Amino acid sequence: MNPSNTIDVSGLSRYNFGPQAPLWWGFVGMILIEATVIASLIASYFYLKMGSISWPPAGTEMPKLLLPTINTFILLVSSLAMHRADKSIGEGKQKQLIRGLVIGIVLASVFLGIKAYEYSHLEYDWSTHSYGSIVWSISMFHAAHVLSVVLKTIIVAYLAVRGYFNQQRRLGVTVNGLYWHFVVVIWIPLYVVLYWSPRFL
């Protein structure tokens, strides 16, 4: 090969993170697709509501606020833990990274435990009526996302304990945090739709 035709790559970094990495944009694309699905579920909720005489149906109590409100607070705190984890590895702080990941995993697991308790005590399920069907579909769809991000974060935490991540090689932490924040943020409109909108709309 003619040396004059070669490209000097000595100034390029072996490790990219954030918008410089194709994987980051892959996760952004996946998030946009999932956000579209969730928007469709919300639209379905209000479509069913408009076709119903009463919402929730007569004889069905209004959704209780205490547990889902506590869960909302738990998810928001978990997002702060993930943000701290991402920032810590950027500063080369391995222990703080692991601590943030573990806190996030614990909080999200508590969220799932409370969610399981809440729905195990409902007087209806997904097959009772259209209200039950859409409420269970939306809530379980989100819970599945929380479970998936917990499992993914366990793997990230394992790699962190093994010392895999550092200031240069941290893309795994970054995209994990990106998806975690999406799962948390998307819960806010779902919380409003499922628990507050029946009271005011």
List pLDDT tens digits, range 110-163. Answer: 999 999 999 999 999 888 899 999 999 999 999 999 999 999 999 999 999 999
Would residue 7 count as lying in a domain?
A: no
Q: What is the mean pLDDT of residues 97-105?
A: 96
pLDDT range class, residue 11, cuts 50, 70, 90: very low
Residue 141 lies in a domain: yes
Domain count within the chain = 1
Residues 18/24, Cβ–Cβ less than 8 Å: yes
Tell me the average pLDDT of the chain.
Answer: 90
CATH of the domain at 94: 1.20.120.80
Q: Classify residue 187: in a domain, yes or no.
A: yes
pLDDT of residue 171: 87
175 occurs within a structural domain: yes
Residue 181 has pLDDT above 80, yes or no: yes
Residue 152 · residue 179 · CB < 8 Å:
yes
pLDDT at 25: 86
What pLDDT score was predicted for residue 12?
38
- Which pLDDT does position 141 carry in this prediction? 96
% pLDDT > 90, the chain: 72
> What's the pLDDT band for 7 if we cut at 50, 70, 90?
very low
| Model pTM score | 0.87
184 within domain boundaries: yes
Domain that holds residue 59: 35-200
Rounded (10°) CA dihedral 158, 162, 165, 166: 150
Residue 112 CB-density burial (10 A; 0-12 exposed, 13-18 middle, 19+ buried): middle
